[in-house]
Chain A
Amino acid sequence: MSGYIVEVNNLSKTYKSGHQALKNVSLQIKQGEILALLGPNGAGKTTLISIICGLVNPGPGSVQVAGFDVVKAYRQSRQKIGLVPQELVVSMFETVWNSVVFSRGMFGKARNDAFLQTALQSLSLWEKRDSKVMELSGGMKRRLLIAKALAHEPEVLFLDEPTAGVDVELRRDMWRLVEQLRQQGVTIILTTHYIEEAEAIADRIGIISQGELLLVEEKQQLMMRLGQKQLILQLQQPLATVPASLASYALDLSADGLLLTYTYDGGSDHNHVTEMLGAIEQARLKLKDVHTKQRSLEQIFVSLLEDAS
């Protein structure tokens, strides 16, 4: 065992159409972490998840889950995995209860009504247990898919675009649920193109584009490393122009002359904040307030994709 719950090594995948969906992807996922895979449509996120879960035949490379190869030891690897697909694909004529009982059985677990009851209760579906799936709202169907994925008590949960097309309230519910699962020790890998989702819940971020994994990094480090910061100085008196003594700091002056903005590399130990503030004092500018702003993950994501293309 390598210590990773999921290990992908040099994985490639080319479909019969000739489209290369994955190009030599390597990825290691630690137990208990939340990894968000970000990427535009067609980047290869779903292909990667589908190969790990057994839905798509892998190409060259290897994939292991809890140390088990997903092809050679598929039974052991798949028992560890729960998958919540992107689409609302569930048998519409089944009842909610039968649907989760089916899922648990499929993964080789003896029926455990008490566990399934708890799972349904935690997803606010217990009252609907005797309803047919077709009678549920879209949000409830999505929660049911999560209940089905959790029915066999997996160690790794894949959420493929879990909040695509859901309302804000349900999205927040999902995020709470993900946090709750993490506290129970479940490793979560989610794909999303909602940047704020990754920003809100992920420990690490992977960015994938055109089948290539551009980077995988701790969220905080990524934002520190690639995130520019801005120091915004609010002046007591408006300025007509930036004083010549401050020209080297490339300060931006707002149209009303009351805000000076200094942009610097948040991850660098060698910025010039101290010197710039000293120069402000020497220029006898009186400050009313000071605050900082960090570049969002979305801005980082967009710039990385631009660099890649």
Chain B
Amino acid sequence: MNWYAVKAIYLSELARTWRTPMQSIASPVLSTSLYFIVFGAAIGSAMVSIDGISYGAFIIPGLIMLTVLTESTSNSSFGIYMPKWSGSIYEVLSAPVSAVEIVLGYVGAAASKSLILGGIILLTARFFVDYSILHPGWMLLFLLLTCITFSLLGFIIGLLADGFEKLQVVPLMIVTPLAFLGGTFYSISMLPEFWQKVTLFNPVVYLVSGFRWSFYGVSDVNVGVSLAMILLFMFSFLVIIYWIFRTGYKVKV
């Protein structure tokens, strides 16, 4: 293993975050905080509790997931797309590194950023809403797996994209709607029976449900199923990345 290369990519990508703190950290924290203020502190007090949890506290896991999903995807896709776009990818492709090391560097950095961001949002939420974490270890595991999985997705998008617009399509047009409709703001048991079944095709439901379980011990789907689904997504994304590097598709000619 070329650990020096992994470290070089990882630190270089993290440095990009520290160069743009407003965009990378402050902006997502602020926008998520607005949800806490509006739906938690303001409207939340007028809403009925769900599964015995106040509405403000109920939406915290979903909102963290919403931010982590979109940020992981965006960070990772941007991280690999930028050198592709500028041409500086030549240095990565001509270096003695394997696909594993490249993925560890880029995806590791993107996942780390999202994990830090998730932590900051969790702490920020405390200023507006009271919440508890019943299973902190599981909470951390769900958060970490989600950060990694969606950073892998972003990495695939960055490798395949051939324009800045396409970088934004998946996070904004697919991930965000799925997160909104995946039980971030409600329990899927509140939906009519037909829509409950349809919602089960939304992968984000499993992420939000598992994550919420780690906070409050309640979930829409079995926590084991949630975990299995995250691992399934992660495995699927890894297979796609393996194929891209093996064939050189959109990477080498």
Contact residues of B between 181 and 221, Cβ < 8 Å to A: none
Compute how far the CA of A109 lies from the CA of B2 in the bound complex, rounded to whole angstroms. Answer: 9
A108 touches B15 (CB 8 A): no
* Least CB separation from B20: chain A residue: A93
B96 touches A79 (CB 8 A): yes
- Chain B residues contacting A76 (CB-CB under 8 Å) are 96
A91 touches B88 (CB 8 A): yes
Q: How far apart are A154's CB and chain B's nearest CB, in angstroms? A: 11
A29 interface residue (CB < 8 Å to B): no
* Least CB separation from A148: chain B residue: B91
B95 touches A78 (CB 8 A): yes
If A98-B12, A105-B4, A105-B7 touch, whether A81 touches B94 (CB-CB below 8 Å) is yes
B224 interface residue (CB < 8 Å to A): no
Contact residues of B between 219 and 253, Cβ < 8 Å to A: 248, 252-253
Contact residues of A between 34 and 75, Cβ < 8 Å to B: 53-57, 74-75
Q: How far apart are B14's CB and chain A's nearest CB, in angstroms? A: 12
**Of A55, A90, A107, which is within 8 A of B88 by CB?**
A90
**Of B8, B96, B253, which is within 8 A of A102 by CB?**
B8
Compute how far the CA of A84 lies from the CA of B25 in the bound complex, rounded to whole angstroms. Answer: 35
Compute how far the CA of A93 lies from the CA of B15 in the bound complex, rounded to whole angstroms. Answer: 10
B96 touches A91 (CB 8 A): no
Compute how far the CA of A101 lies from the CA of B16 in the bound complex, rounded to whole angstroms. Answer: 15
A75 touches B96 (CB 8 A): yes
Compute how far the CA of A57 lies from the CA of B93 in the bound complex, rounded to whole angstroms. Answer: 11
- Chain B residues contacting A93 (CB-CB under 8 Å) are 16, 19
- Chain B residues contacting A94 (CB-CB under 8 Å) are 12, 15
If A57-B253, A92-B86 touch, whether A109 touches B4 (CB-CB below 8 Å) is yes
If A89-B86, A108-B4 touch, whether A55 touches B93 (CB-CB below 8 Å) is yes
A106 touches B5 (CB 8 A): yes
B92 touches A106 (CB 8 A): yes
**Of B5, B12, B90, B252, which is within 8 A of A89 by CB?**
B90
Compute how far the CA of A265 lies from the CA of B55 in the bound complex, rounded to whole angstroms. Answer: 95
A53 touches B94 (CB 8 A): yes
B87 interface residue (CB < 8 Å to A): yes
Interface centre among A55, A76, A79 (most CB of B within 10 A): A55
Q: Render B10-45 as a binary contact track against A, CB cut-off 8 A, 1 for contact.
A: 001001100100000000000000000000000000
Q: How far apart are A179's CB and chain B's nearest CB, in angstroms? A: 25
Q: How far apart are A211's CB and chain B's nearest CB, in angstroms? A: 15
Q: How far apart are A52's CB and chain B's nearest CB, in angstroms? A: 9
If A87-B87, A92-B86 touch, whether A74 touches B96 (CB-CB below 8 Å) is yes
Q: How far apart are B85's CB and chain A's nearest CB, in angstroms? A: 10
**Of A15, A16, A87, A108, which is within 8 A of B2 by CB?**
A108
B86 touches A57 (CB 8 A): no
A106 touches B90 (CB 8 A): no
Compute how far the CA of A104 lies from the CA of B252 in the bound complex, rounded to whole angstroms. Answer: 23
A105 touches B90 (CB 8 A): no
A162 interface residue (CB < 8 Å to B): no
Compute how far the CA of A74 lies from the CA of B5 in the bound complex, rounded to whole angstroms. Answer: 15
B97 interface residue (CB < 8 Å to A): yes
B83 interface residue (CB < 8 Å to A): yes
- Chain A residues contacting B9 (CB-CB under 8 Å) are 106
Contact residues of A between 101 and 123, Cβ < 8 Å to B: 101-110
A96 interface residue (CB < 8 Å to B): no
A85 touches B87 (CB 8 A): yes
**Of A54, A90, A101, A102, which is within 8 A of B94 by CB?**
A54
- Chain B residues contacting A105 (CB-CB under 8 Å) are 4-5, 7-8
Q: Render B72-91 as a binary contact track against A, CB cut-off 8 A, 1 for contact.
A: 00000000001100111011
Q: How far apart are A167's CB and chain B's nearest CB, in angstroms? A: 23
- Chain A residues contacting B90 (CB-CB under 8 Å) are 55, 83, 85, 89
Compute how far the CA of A15 lies from the CA of B248 in the bound complex, rounded to whole angstroms. Answer: 13
* Least CB separation from B83: chain A residue: A91
* Least CB separation from B248: chain A residue: A57
Q: How far apart are A6's CB and chain B's nearest CB, in angstroms? A: 14
Compute how far the CA of A57 lies from the CA of B7 in the bound complex, rounded to whole angstroms. Answer: 26
B252 touches A57 (CB 8 A): yes
Contact residues of B between 45 and 104, Cβ < 8 Å to A: 82-83, 86-88, 90-98
Q: How far apart are B99's CB and chain A's nearest CB, in angstroms? A: 12
Compute how far the CA of A241 lies from the CA of B10 in the bound complex, rounded to whole angstroms. Answer: 79
- Chain A residues contacting B96 (CB-CB under 8 Å) are 74-79, 107-108
A98 touches B94 (CB 8 A): no
* Closest A-B pairs by Cβ, 10 of them: A105-B8, A89-B87, A75-B96, A106-B95, A78-B96, A53-B94, A108-B2, A105-B4, A89-B88, A106-B5
List 12 extra interface pairs beyond A92-B86, A105-B5, CB under 8 A: A15-B253, A54-B93, A74-B96, A78-B95, A83-B94, A91-B88, A93-B19, A94-B15, A106-B5, A106-B97, A108-B95, A108-B96
Can you pick out 14 interface pairs between chain A and chain B where the beta carbons lie within 8 Å of each other? Answer: A54-B93, A55-B90, A55-B93, A56-B253, A76-B96, A79-B96, A90-B86, A91-B12, A93-B19, A94-B12, A98-B15, A101-B8, A106-B4, A106-B5
Chain A interface residues toward B at CB < 8 A: 15-16, 53-57, 74-79, 81, 83, 85, 87, 89-94, 98, 101-110, 148
